[in-house]
Structure 1
Amino acid sequence: MLVLGADGPGEEPAPYFFLSYAHTPKNHPKDKDPNVWVERFYRDLCAHVMQLTSLPAGVPAGFLDQQMQPGEGWQERLSQALASCRVFVPLYSPRYFRSEQCGREWFVFSTRAAHHQARSNGASGSGGIVPALWVPIPPTELPQPAERLQFNHAAFGDDYADEGFYGLIKLRYLRDQYERAVYRLAKRIVSVAEETCIAEGDPHQDYGGMPSAFGPPGPARAMEISILACSWSDLPAGRGRECYGPSPRDWNPYHPTTARPLADHAVDVVRNLDYRVRVGEFEAEAERLLAPGPPHSPGLLILDRWALDDPHRRELMRRLGAADRPWISVMVPWNREDPESGVREDELRTATEEALAARLEDGGGYRSPSGGVPTLEAFSKELPGAVKAAGKYYTAHAPTFPPEGPSERVPRVLPSGIGYGAGLPASTTGDAGQALGNADKEERL
């Protein structure tokens, strides 16, 4: 565990903030490191944070990957810093949102913030993220995770909003504006750290296996999340009310560990994968989702096994299993810490297996392992894979829209090269190749 002021064996002091930035490559090997300006900005920011806080000696104000030593396990260090820092500071630039490394850092921290929110049922707010402009980015180019922050950069000064920190640090006449903007950013970092107090994450998570929070360039992708669960009005015999609410969307299978409905937590995580999310109740929208034809968007069904006590819902799951709908991934939470889970586990597991048997076949679509997803942490780790599978199957089955007008002839690979004609017979390929070779020789002579 990383703790502030830790000095025990194997422990590292936790940084106050994590500076995430995209490396700028050199134009020529003899050029100076273009990232030196980021390091200078980082040092100035650390100095202000130290003055504004009571951090003890030896505790770093921030984390920057340039501080890591050669041969050091960089994935382990990044994972530890992201699991323990109090604030995440993404440094926006045109390269930032095209960097998979930066997207992975954003996803790891934002998922940690989502877990904290699920446990505490706190307001979403900034989630411990304080963005900064290295180079201004048009709002239309921001991915969903960044667009939702709605941060007012002009609060740090008009020159900062127009030029970013890179412009302020490079232009001498803007030196005062640079100092002012860095100081205001430091104050904002300290304020957010004191307001949020995000619980530590897992420092040993598989950082290299984490997805990026940034999708491909262009319009945000869509994802439809459907919930099939009980509500207070239709609980089966022997099932308590603690994990439920007035509607299926209130279902919280990991109660009392978490304080939020699972649908809300799933929305937070999927949005951090750069998707626009729509949430609905599967039972109410089953006819649309199961209707024949190509998909309108990838989907995710979150299934409460207790809901299968109802014959109508069991039939809906059988229809989903029998239909060719692999673009709807299925996740099945099952909290074994729930004292009521063991009573009917075998029966409800069998009902689930029978309804979704087709999902075990290749191309049948994603589904959770038969034992179910036991914890919120396990659910969050499995969710990106389910979303990725739904997107893959959607791409394979979605309708295509070729351009209007007459089609052009498609070039073919011929024995004598690439062209539109019939080409030479295969038996003359060697002669044609020899003729071309002789012609080439004559031209060189």
Structure 2
Amino acid sequence: MERFYRDLCAHVLQLTSLPAGVPAGFMDQQMQPGEGWPERLSEALAYCRVFVPLYSPRYFLSEQCGREWYAFSSRAVHHQAAQYNNNSSPITGIVPALWVPVPPKQLPQPAERLQFNHATFGDDYADEGFYGLIKLRYLRDQYERAVYLLAKRIVKVAEQTQMAEGHPHQDYLAVPSAFGPPGPAREMDIAVLACSRADRPQDRGPDCYGPDARDWNPYHPKSSRPLADHAVDLVRNLDYLVRVGDFEAEAERLLAAGEPSAPGLLLLDQWALEAPHRRDLLRRLCAQDRPWISIMVPWNREDPESALRSDSLHSAAGILAAETAGGHRSPGAGVPTLEAFSEELPRAVRAADRHYTAQAKTYPPEGRGGRIPRVLPGGVGYGADVHVTPSDGPHQGKGHADDAEGPSDDREP
């Protein structure tokens, strides 16, 4: 891997105007003993132009690799929020490389969505990955070609993606992993309880709203993107399949009795609580024991209209504090900035998932259970107090403690 990294950096150096001696990249195995690795990694992820994950089955089982992926991909989500327009295409700044080929069904959601065609670097590369090309001498030429093409791809993405720098001093150890546990993809419901431009209060301007509740953008003008879309991207980067909708339209499904179908995240506009029917919906949610629905309350501290009405708006949202039955709730008066929202969201998602796991219906395997093992003086066996069912065999009646050490003389071995 060190050899591959050196070869890749050498090509990138030749393809760019970087001065000689300036490192073209950073690999997370370069840090020296005694160096603060969380700080060093946080700084590298905040300033790098392109992120190159080395795919392998072990890579996607690593929490450390998942943290690096999420830290970098969050920069792309914030860049999208600031630069959003209807004609803009999403950017990632991620150029994956195959170290060892990974079956598509083993890819987590963030990697599966990249849609990267590895065969463009050569069929042998797609079949063997860089590890195989390095190890097999007869594939030396294919290795050189694949490294060169990867370097060209990295330079092209760096030139096309002028992504804003991240936070170099973030608490790296608190960054969540972008990779969920192996198995079926997890699901998350995101619902928005907000005004639309047509039904907003009379003393509320239209700038933060659109035709539907899902168009609500409380952090305007710093963000030019609906908050629900921003939240969807962040939750997808945590390896969830996401459903998003209007809380009013889906209230009966989300508030239905019985086991939950998925954990949920509610984005609450305090201005929406000016309407009595929306206050009643929130009261119904808070009065029930539904801790698997986390509630986040965005509150733009730079919004002059909200500042003038802060006392009455916070009073209406006080339903959360007075009647809530548990689960994650935004602390204080609300989440003041888009950056703070992005930091709180993983905690809200984690809390909703934890409560959902505790409340959801379980599906134990079919079939009858066997006898319960007991620790006996002679070893592990079946004690006298354990009833043995007739299905255990024609020669077995009730078990006895001294029978546990082995068959007696009158039994078949």
Q: Which stretches in structure 2 are left out of the alignment for 5+ residues?
A: 387-400, 406-413
1:77 alignment partner, SS class: helix
- Give the corresponding residue for 2:327: 365
1:418–1:263 distance in 2 versus 1, CA, 3 Å: same
Q: Do residues 112 (structure 1) and 112 (structure 2) align?
A: no
1:169–1:343 distance in 2 versus 1, CA, 3 Å: same
1:356 CA displacement: 4.7
1:208 alignment partner, SS class: helix
CA distance in 2, matches of 1:366, 1:83: 29
- Give the corresponding residue for 1:6: none
Q: Do residues 164 (structure 1) and 120 (structure 2) align?
A: no
Tell me how many residue pairs correspond in the alignment: 386
CA distance in 2, matches of 1:93, 1:281: 39
Q: Do residues 374 (structure 1) and 333 (structure 2) align?
A: no
1:44-443 pair list within 5 angstroms: 44-121=7-84, 123-359=88-324, 364-411=326-373, 419-422=381-384
Q: How big is each residue's C-alpha offset from its partner over 1:193-247, in whole Å with a ceiling of 9 and x where there is no partner?
A: 1111110000000001111000000111000100001011101021000011000
1:416 CA displacement: 8.4
1:291 CA displacement: 1.1
1:345–1:176 distance in 2 versus 1, CA, 3 Å: same
Aligned residue type for 1:69: Q
Q: Which moved more, 1:317-326 or 1:113-122?
A: 113-122
1:151 CA displacement: 0.2
1:341 alignment partner, SS class: helix
1:413 CA displacement: 6.2
Q: Which moved more, 1:59-68 or 1:254-263?
A: 59-68
1:325–1:413 distance in 2 versus 1, CA, 3 Å: farther
Q: How big is each residue's C-alpha offset from its partner over 1:305-336, in whole Å with a ceiling of 9 and x where there is no partner?
A: 00000000000000000011110000000001
- Per the normalisation by structure 1, the TM-score is 0.84
CA distance in 2, matches of 1:116, 1:299: 25
1:419 CA displacement: 4.6
1:78 alignment partner, SS class: helix
1:277 alignment partner, SS class: strand
CA distance in 2, matches of 1:137, 1:119: 34
Aligned residue type for 2:370: E
Q: How big is each residue's C-alpha offset from its partner over 1:394-429, in whole Å with a ceiling of 9 and x where there is no partner?
A: 0000011223333434445679875543469xxxxx
Q: What is the RMSD computed on CA atoms of the aligned residues?
A: 1.9
CA distance in 2, matches of 1:241, 1:224: 27
- 8 Å contact kept, 1:416–1:423: no
Q: Which stretches in structure 1 are left out of the alignment for 5+ residues?
A: 1-37, 425-431, 437-445
1:357–1:174 distance in 2 versus 1, CA, 3 Å: same
2:307 alignment partner, SS class: coil
1:181 alignment partner, SS class: helix
CA distance in 2, matches of 1:418, 1:286: 53
CA distance in 2, matches of 1:326, 1:337: 31
- Per the normalisation by structure 2, the TM-score is 0.90
CA distance in 2, matches of 1:313, 1:213: 34
